[in-house]
């Protein structure tokens, strides 16, 4: 169903820089025009590997942005979940107190959250 590019788009195994833990810092240094030799020495990479990697920076940045968007999206879903938990708690209290008005309000708000979550997770960007 998902036909987005796989995470292996960077051709694992071929570029040591793309898999380096300090990839973001390295990309930044490269974009700032840092010379390959000292940069390579700093991160234990060969200048030729860095040179090959310069072609991947655009893609790495795009993936980075996508990761950030996904993280933001997941944080948003977490907040909805938290809201739902609080509503459930409030609902139980209202029910115990036989407060029909508040109980109904909780149910309506819960429905909104469920609908919103369903809509969000169905968008093409919503799923990985
Ligand atoms: Zn690379």
The torsion of the CA quartet 109, 112, 116, 117, rounded to 10 degrees, works out to: 60
Ligand 1 centre distance from Cα of residue 16 (Å): 7
What pLDDT is recorded for position 123?
63
Distance 87 CA to ligand 1 centre (A): 47
Per-residue confidence at 113, pLDDT binned at 50, 70, 90? Answer: very high
Helix axis angle, 57-96 to 23-31, nearest 10°:
130
Average pLDDT score, the chain: 86
Round to whole Å and give the CA distance between 76 and 73.
Answer: 5
Residue 98 pLDDT: 95
Over 80: is that where the pLDDT of 5 sits?
no
Ligand 1 centre distance from Cα of residue 5 (Å): 16
Tens-place pLDDT, residues 66-75: 999 999 999 9
The Å distance, Cα 105 to ligand 1 centre, comes to: 53
Q: How far is the CA of 51 from the centre of ligand 1 (A)?
A: 9
The C-alpha atoms of residue 57 and residue 30 are separated, in whole angstroms, by 9
User: What's the 71 CA to ligand 1 centre distance in angstroms?
Assistant: 23
Domain positions in the chain are 13-122
Q: How confident is the model over 12-28, as a mean pLDDT?
A: 87
């Amino acid at each position: 169903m998902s036909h987005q590019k796989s995470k292996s788009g960077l051709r694992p195994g071929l570029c040591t820089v793309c898999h380096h833990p300090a990839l973001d810092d390295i990309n930044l240094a490269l974009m700032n025009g840092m010379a390959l030799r000292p940069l390579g020495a700093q991160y234990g990479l060969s200048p030729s590997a860095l040179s090959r990697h310069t072609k991947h920076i655009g893609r790495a940045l795009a993936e980075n942005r996508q990761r950030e968007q996904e993280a933001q999206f997941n944080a948003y879903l977490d907040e909805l979940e938290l809201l739902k938990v609080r509503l459930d708690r409030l609902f139980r209290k209202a029910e115990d107190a036989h407060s029909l008005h508040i109980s109904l309000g909780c149910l309506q708000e819960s429905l909104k959250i469920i609908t919103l979550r369903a809509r969000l997770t169905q968008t093409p960007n919503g799923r990985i």
